[in-house]
Amino acid sequence: MDAYTRMVIDPEIPTLTVNNVVFYLQTLKAPIQRNVGNAEVETGRKLFEKINCSGCHKPTLKTGFSPVAALSNKEFHPYTDLLLHDMGPGLDDGYTEGSAKTFEWRTPPLWGLGLSMNSQGGSYHLLHDGRAKSIEEAVTLHGGEASASRNSFNQLSGEEKNALLRFLESL
Ligand code: HEC
């Protein structure tokens, strides 16, 4: 049997393998928050609520029923509402995807944000096209529905900004 014949006879991987990979991906552990007891991180967490970052980056969601007990009716902390938002002309890429407008983006989960620098080769590549090279830059590029929140961020004192950034890095 040559390589071509082998390919044609059974080009698919078995359903069991696909199901096993899906199960593995579904049950991967979420990143664990670091420095939870730290006072600056706690101050940052409160500011995150106060200036309504949490309006879109929802700290807590709950799963529905799942036949996998570990996933069923569980609270988790993704920091997203999973919804599309108008993010203003600065983040409009002029390219329509599905039913989303060109300036609409889905709130990305912020869990694992502080780990992403190391997992992406030592620098941040944030927002949909990776243009933001720091967490602060990503926040200041928010527009549209997030304008009020961004303005509040810009008005924070240096100390408050640092606390908020320490909190975001802890996720
Ligand atoms: C109106 C909803 C909304 C509000 C309010 C909001 N965000 Fe976002 N945020 C988004 C969306 C949508 C994106 C993705 C935009 C993109 O990809 O261009 C985003 C992206 C980010 C990112 C980049 C994440 C990544 O993985 O690329 C960070 C960090 C972030 N937001 C932090 C904040 C902080 C801090 C605040 C409060 C000052 C805030 N956001 C307020 C909707 C919001």
Domain annotation covers residue 12: no
Distance 160 CA to ligand 1 centre (A): 18
**Ligand 1 in reach of 51 Cβ (< 6 A):** yes
Domain annotation covers residue 127: yes
The two three-digit tokens of residue 147, written as one number: 């304008």
15-47 confidence digits (pLDDT tens): 999 999 999 999 999 999 999 999 999 999 999
Residues 6+ apart with CB under 8 A from 149: 51, 52, 53, 55, 142
User: What pLDDT shows up at residue 76?
Assistant: 95
Domain annotation covers residue 25: no
Classify residue 30 by its DSSP letter: P
Domain annotation covers residue 24: no
User: What pLDDT shows up at residue 170?
Assistant: 97
- Nearest atom in ligand 1 to the alpha carbon of residue 109 is 26
Q: What is the CATH number of the domain that holds 55?
A: 1.10.760.10
d(CA 22, CA 7): 24
User: Mean pLDDT over residues 67-79, rounded?
Assistant: 94
**Ligand 1 in reach of 108 Cβ (< 6 A):** yes
54-65 confidence digits (pLDDT tens): 999 999 999 999
d(CA 121, CA 118): 6
For residue 162, give its domain range.
32-170
Q: Is the pLDDT of residue 126 over 80?
A: yes
CA 83 from centroid of its chain's CA atoms:
12
- Cα dist. 146→32, 57, 128, 141 in Å? 27, 11, 15, 10
**pTM: predicted TM-score of the whole model, two decimal places:** 0.91
**Ligand 1 in reach of 138 Cβ (< 6 A):** yes
Element at 17 (helix H, strand E)? helix 15-26
- The total domain count for the chain is 1
Domain annotation covers residue 116: yes
